[in-house]
Amino acid sequence: MNKITFYEERNFQGRSYECGSDCADMSSYLSKCHSCRVERGCFMVYDRTNYSGNQYFMRRGEYADYMSMMGMSDCIRSCRMIPMHRGQYRMRIYEKENFGGQFHELMDDCDNVQDRYRMPNCVSCNVMDGHWLMYEQPQYRGRMMYMRPGEYRNFNNQGMNGMRFMSMKHINDSYY
């Protein structure tokens, strides 16, 4: 059973909210969040309700002042549990919206789309197997987006206006 606990104050102080699954709107449980503890599993946290806005990946561990480190300014509004995936990982990335332009199929991490595939960026994708993190910069840096199996024709529809992804990695059991 996955479990994350959010705390209003730094160092796990103040009111808390414990969660083991998806929560589309946490604002009724906490007015702010400065620290959290992930006891089991992995989660994505979002600074807007309904799993939108900036996203941050949370794996097992203690984050005594995590929110200020990531610049979230007290505003975790939703979280999504990332289920463990056993099996292969497979994703097709596309250069343009609606699966247009050149494409490549990935089964492992890619630290730089430009260097590996001579593709300027990734603007749409189809995740066939596994769960992935996509980053706006090479070497797994910058803003990120969680991708679960499905078709993503336009990243703007995911609340990531103007985002183009340059690196991606699969979420495997080493994170749990």
Domain residues for the domain of 147 are: 90-175
The per-residue pLDDT for 66 is: 67
Confidence bin at 68 (pLDDT 50/70/90): low
d(CA 87, CA 130) in angstroms, rounded, equals: 8
Residues 155-174 have a mean pLDDT of 79
Amino acid at 169: K
d(CA 125, CA 127) in angstroms, rounded, equals: 6
Domain of 108: which CATH number? 2.60.20.10
Last residue of a domain, one of 82, 110, 131: 82
Burial 124-161 (b: 16+ CB within 10 A, else e): bbbbeebbbbbbbebebeeebbbbeeeebbebeebbbe
Mean pLDDT estimate for the chain: 89
Kindly state whether residues 66 and 10 are assigned to the same domain.
Answer: yes
Rg of the chain in Å (alpha carbons): 16
Kindly state whether residues 13 and 50 are assigned to the same domain.
Answer: yes
Q: Name beta bridge partners: 56.
A: 45
Could you tell me which of 82, 174, 176, 166 has the C-alpha nearest to residue 132?
82
Query: In what helix (H) or strand (E) does residue 69 lie, and over which residues does it extend?
Result: helix 66-69
Structural domain count of the chain? 2
Distance in Å from the first CA to the final CA of the chain: 11
Kindly state whether residues 64 and 100 are assigned to the same domain.
Answer: no
pTM of the model: 0.87
Last residue of a domain, one of 82, 98, 125: 82
Last residue of a domain, one of 46, 64, 82: 82
Could you tell me which of 54, 155, 169, 139 has the C-alpha nearest to residue 95?
155
pLDDT tens-digit profile of 12-60? 999 999 999 999 999 889 988 888 999 999 999 988 889 988 889 999 9
Confidence bin at 175 (pLDDT 50/70/90): confident
